Amino acid sequence: MCELFAMSSNAAASVKYSLEEFSKHGGLTAGNKDGWGISYYEGGEARLIKEAAPAASSPWVSFVAEQYLRSDCVMAHVRLASRGAVRLENTHPFDRELGGRRHVFAHNGSLDGFCDGLPLKQELYRPIGDTDSEHAFCVLLERLHDAWWKNGMPSLGERMEIVSGFAMDARRLGQANFLYYDGDVLFVHAHKRRWEENGECSEPRAPGLHVRTIERYLSGQGVDVGGLQVDCPDQEVLLFASVPLSRGDWDPIEEGTLLGVKAGREVARITP
């Protein structure tokens, strides 16, 4: 089972230990051994680091942790290959430019018949690898393209409508948990996922994602949530993970829900 993680905050925060904890799901405590990636957003660009190898034993994971990289939107993924070979071009997150911004996408699940069920109708965005996830991302950008090119950044309502329609189509093909960041809003879609039970994978079921809220920790106090270092004044943080990274108040997200998140706050929601 692939694992997703994202953080949105109102000020830049470090995710040093969370990355280490997350990497345990990349080969030590779960069956995800086929690659990992993490993106730190800064301005209109993303610092994207990924590798087609197990995260749990990767020297790159330790190197990234030692840099104390900070961002107000972080996205990470560890992969268990279900479609596409174990190669760098098939490793999440994926990124493309649209409207002068870097857009980043990561997905958990398998989409059956994705070429026919989510057809690419133009040549604007083409996959580099051969995964269903990257193909789906290209379809999403294709649907968003005209809205971004009309008058710059579309309204949040218009973006939510397009992303929600895409999510609905993806759900018909399989498991469609995904994270998508357009440089302004983090879109979080929860669906179903397979769970490891007694060494075997279950049938897909909800919840596909969990959320935890951290609110208003004063400067100097700090807080540790599964290793996430929050040390900025008046920090508001939302954390998302396929599987809770720590004990505490992680809440399951209802199946089929699409959230829009900005600066550590939920700013939009569409429920099934």
Return the beta strands (E) in 18-133 as ranges.
Answer: 36-42, 45-51, 70-78, 94-98, 101-108
Are 160 and 93 within 8 A, CB to CB?
no
Residue that the structure tokens 């301005």 belong to: 43
- Report which of residues 180 and 25 the model is more confident about: 180
Average pLDDT over all residues of the chain = 86
CA–CA distance, 65 with 136 (Å, rounded to integer): 30
Q: Would residue 201 show up in a list of annotated catalytic residues for this protein?
A: no
Q: Which residue has the tokens 């840099």?
A: 67
Round to whole Å and give the CA distance between 163 and 209. Answer: 17
A 10 A CB-CB count for 1 gives 22
Determine whether 218 is exposed, middle or buried from the number of CB atoms within 10 Å of its CB (0-12, 13-18, 19+).
exposed
Rounded percentage of the chain residues whose pLDDT exceeds 70: 82
The pLDDT value recorded for residue 219 is 47
Cis peptide before 252 (omega within 30 of 0): no
| Range from 9-18, 103-112, 125-134 carrying the lowest mean pLDDT | 9-18
At 27, which amino acid appears? G
Is the CB of residue 186 less than 8 Å from the CB of residue 8? yes
Q: Is the pTM of this model over 0.95?
A: no
pLDDT per residue as tens digits for the range 156-206: 999 999 999 999 999 999 999 999 999 999 999 999 987 766 666 777 888
pLDDT tens figures, 100-128: 999 999 999 999 999 899 999 988 999 99
Catalytic site residue from 2, 73, 138, 232: 2
Written as six digits, the tokens of 256 are: 């089929």
Does 207 sit behind a cis peptide bond, omega within 30 degrees of 0 on the bond before it? yes
Place of tokens 């059956």: 112
What's the mean pLDDT in 39-47?
92
Residue 94: which H helix or E strand, with range? strand 94-98
Q: Which domains are delineated in the chain? A: 3-109+175-270 (3.60.20.10)
For the stretch 59-95, pLDDT in tens is: 888 888 788 888 999 999 886 656 657 789 999 999 9
> What type of residue sits at position 63?
F
Q: Which residue type is seen at 87?
A: R
